[in-house]
A and B are shown apart, each in its own frame.
Chain A
Amino acid sequence: MTCPDWSRLAVLRDQLRDDEPEGWTEALEHLDDCPRCRPEALKADPLLVFRRLPAAELNPAAERSEVESMRLAVAAMRNARNAGRLESRHRFAGWRRWAAAAVLAVASLAVSRDRPPAAAGVAATVLPPAAKEATAQPAAQEPAAIEGLNRPGARVYHMDGEGISVFMIVDESLDV
C-alpha cells in the first residue's frame, strides 16, 4: 500500500474539527506499521507521535501468562472479600441475638407496667392453691386484653412460673 498524503489529511482533519476525514482510520493503521512514512506524518501533525505511546508488547505466551496471573489475583481478592463477609456475618449474628434478647426484656417490662391495677391486685391476692389454679387457667388459654396496648391485632401471652413472669407479645402488623 502506498503511504497516505499526510499533509492533506491533517489539514482536512483540522478543518473538520468534530469529524474524521475519509480514510483517516486506514491511514492511522498504516502509520502503525510503516516507519517509512512516520517523519512525513509527524511533520503534518506532531501529535501523531503519541500513537506509539508505550503499551506492554505481549506475545501470545506472555499474554497467556498475564491472563493467568490476573485470574489468580482476582480470585484471591474475591476469596479475601468472601472471608471478610463471612466473618462480619458471624459477628453480626452474635449482636443480633443480644439485640433480640434486649427487645424481649424491654417488651416484657413495658407490658408489666401497662397491667391494670385490678389485675395487679388479683396477682397480689393470696389464694388457696386450688383457687389459684382455677383463676390462672383461663388466662393461659385465652389471650389477655391488656389495657393501654391499643393494638387490635396484637395478642399477649402470659406465663407465670416460680419467681418469674414472662409476657410474649405477638403483633403481625409489626415489621421487624
Chain B
Amino acid sequence: MNMLELVYSNRQPSSAPLRAPWADATDRDLLLAMREGDESALNEVINRKTKPLLHLCQRILGGDLEEARDIVQVTFFKIWENRQKFDAKWAPNTWIYRIASNLAIDHLRSRKTRERSQEPVRQHLLHMADGRAQRDLSRMQQTELGTLFRELSVNLSEKQKLVFLLHEIEGLSSPEVAKIIDSRESTVRNHLFIARRILREELLRRFPEYAGGFGLPARREDV
C-alpha cells in the first residue's frame, strides 16, 4: 500500500478516534491528491502553508500584511488551477514558493508603476529620513526595520531582493532558491553577493558606528 492509498484509507469512516485526515500525508501526497481533484487536500495545503507564505509575501512586499494576504490567496487559487502541472519529481515547497514569489514580484512591479508618479515625494521623504537621528539598529522595532529594508532595497533588482529574502531570511539553500527563481546556482550566488554588498554599504552609510565589525564590505571585481 503506498502512502496515497494509506491516506485515502485513513479517510474512511471507522470506529477509531477522530484524527485529521491528512495528518500523516506529506506535502507531495497532498499535491498528488489535488491532481486527482481532492478538494480536502487543497484545504490541508492552505492549512499548512498560509503562515509561511504570508511571511514570505509580507517580506517581499515590504511589510504590508493586507497585500500579502491577497497574494497568498491568489497563490492557493493558482496552485489549484495548475494542479495538473505539478510533477511528483519536484519539491512541493519549491513549486509553491515559486508561484507565490512570482505573484509577489508581479505585484511589486505594478506597485512601482503606481508609485513612479510619486517619486519626487518619496525621494524627499528618504532624504528627510537620512537626515534624522536614527535609533540603535539592535533596538529597532519590526515596523521600523520593514521601512528600512524597503528603503534600502530600492537599490536592488527584483531578483537580487528575492534571492536575499529567500536565502538570508527564509533560510532556503542556494539550489532551492535557484529552482524558485528559475536560474542557475551560480547566478543565485552572484545575486546574493551583490545584494549583500549593496545592502551592507547602504546600512553602514546610515549607521557608520557598525562599520567597526568585520569592516567595510569586500569588493569582488569578478562579479
Taking Cβ atoms with an 8 Å cutoff, the residues of A that contact B are 7, 10-11, 14, 17-18, 25, 28, 35, 38-39, 42-47, 49-56, 58, 63, 66-67, 70-71, 73-74, 77-78, 81
Contact = CB atoms under 8 A, between A and B. Distances in A.
A78 B203 contact: no
DSSP class of A's interface residues: helix, strand, loop or mixed?
helix
A81 B80 CA distance: 12
A55 B171 CA distance: 15
A66 B42 CA distance: 15
A43 B213 CA distance: 5
Contacts of A54: 58-59, 63, 142-143, 145-146
Contact of A50 (B50, B54, B169, B193): B169
Contact of B138 (A28, A39, A45, A47): A39
Interface in B131-182: 136-138, 140, 142-143, 145-146, 149, 165, 168-169, 171, 174
Interface residues of B, number: 48
Interface of B: 42-43, 46-47, 50-51, 54-55, 58-59, 63, 65, 68-69, 72-74, 76-77, 80-81, 136-138, 140, 142-143, 145-146, 149, 165, 168-169, 171, 174, 189, 193, 196, 199-200, 203-204, 207, 210, 212-214, 218
A56 B65 contact: yes
Nearest to B203: A46
A43 B204 contact: no
Given A53-B142, A55-B58, A44 B214 contact: yes
A46 B213 contact: yes
B67 to A, nearest CB: 12
A50 B73 contact: no
B54 to A, nearest CB: 5
A46 B145 CA distance: 12
B210 A42 contact: yes
Contacts of A70: 46, 50, 69, 72-73, 76
Nearest to A41: B138
Contact of A38 (B72, B138, B189): B138
